[in-house]
Amino acid sequence: MQLGWHALAIALAAGSHYGTASGAKASAVHNLSDKAFDAWSDAQELALVKFFAPWCGYCQAMAPSYEQAAVALKKDGIPLAEVDCTKEAKLCEELDIPGYPTLKVVVNGDYVKYNGTREESGIVDYMRRHKQAPLPEIAAPRFDTFRKSANVVAVGFFGRNTAEYGVLEEVARELRDEYTFGFVSDRTLAKAQEVPAPGIAVYKDGAKADIFTGAVSSESVIRFVRATSVPVLGELSSQTFGNYIRAGVPIGLVFYSTDAMRNELATQLERVARDFKRSVSLALVDARIYSKHAKMLSLEPTWPAFAIHDVAQHTKYPLPQPRSV
């Protein structure tokens, strides 16, 4: 039987980590047993743990990158560890490990989901980002650069010792993998940005998109940030669908069949989209490409057509046809 070059490369790369050859260089990855697991976890301010099985091909392929990331993160004081689930089956069962490899971030003894990639650079960048404060203070000279630093940036305009700061910090910890957060205590800057202090504003591509109104709570701010992260009246496609799902509000899908129809609908619906953006995200959909999605929403192939799809509740509300959009 011949061993393909790809399989051979994986086996050789993984051998340095999972192998037992004498004289092998000591691993930078901590190997955790059931007995040591709780004590080690409780002692970590920030760490990463991989749950694996030696027979798993994906685990073998990932092993060199994980080892290199462990070496790189040593100077940052971020340890990487692993648990062999073939040896520690009871522990992995208690932690409900769904498959291999599974990565979990340790934050002050608590385990949370890892949302980064599996190559060395992705692991290093992800963990270093989580080493930083989730809600840094932004000085006035840095503000313009900061608001343009990501596609969606949420900024709180208040002091550190306020209830609003506590809420936004909690939100930032939960959503830091999706959006960028910061706060400004300079009231002059808040006035220049036309944001009432205390207040929260979301910037998209550097421009102020919306200002939060209403009672401040983690749930309401999360809804606000996610809903504001999508365009007021954007284009729904296979590339943007995930953004609308993460926004967490029902999607109002407006199907068109010609470019002229699209332009006319965009003009007519702009104000409606702004008025209802907190409760429904309106999006234009090309029926020439996504007619099957329209059919799934119980729409006939007569355009334009409209339906509301509440993904979270698994419900759909098609506008009766041939009623005009």
For the stretch 154-195, pLDDT in tens is 999 999 999 999 999 999 988 988 899 999 999 999 999 999
Q: The pTM is what?
A: 0.68
Percent of the chain with pLDDT over 70: 92
For residue 291, is pLDDT > 60? yes
For residue 4, is pLDDT > 60? no
Provide the pLDDT for residue 16.
42
Least confident of 3-17, 67-81, 217-231: 3-17
Provide the pLDDT for residue 10.
38
Q: Tell me the pLDDT tens digit for each residue of 39-54.
A: 999 999 999 999 999 9
Q: Tell me the pLDDT tens digit for each residue of 212-243.
A: 988 899 999 998 999 899 999 999 998 889 88
- b/e burial code for range 2-40 (CB count within 10 A of at least 16 → b): eeeeeeeebeebbeebeeeeeeeeebbbbebeeeebeeb
CA atoms of 152 and 162, how far apart (whole Å): 24
Provide the pLDDT for residue 25.
67
Provide the pLDDT for residue 277.
86
DSSP E strand boundaries for the chain: 30-31, 46-52, 80-84, 102-107, 110-113, 152-157, 180-184, 199-204, 207-211, 233-235, 251-256, 281-286, 305-310, 315-318
Least confident of 53-57, 243-247, 257-261, 309-313: 243-247
For residue 294, is pLDDT > 70? yes
Q: Using CA of residue 308, residue 283, residue 115, residue 202, what is the dihedral sign?
A: negative
Provide the pLDDT for residue 243.
85
Provide the pLDDT for residue 24.
52
- Omega prior to 136 cis, within 30 of 0: no
3-class secondary structure, 232: coil
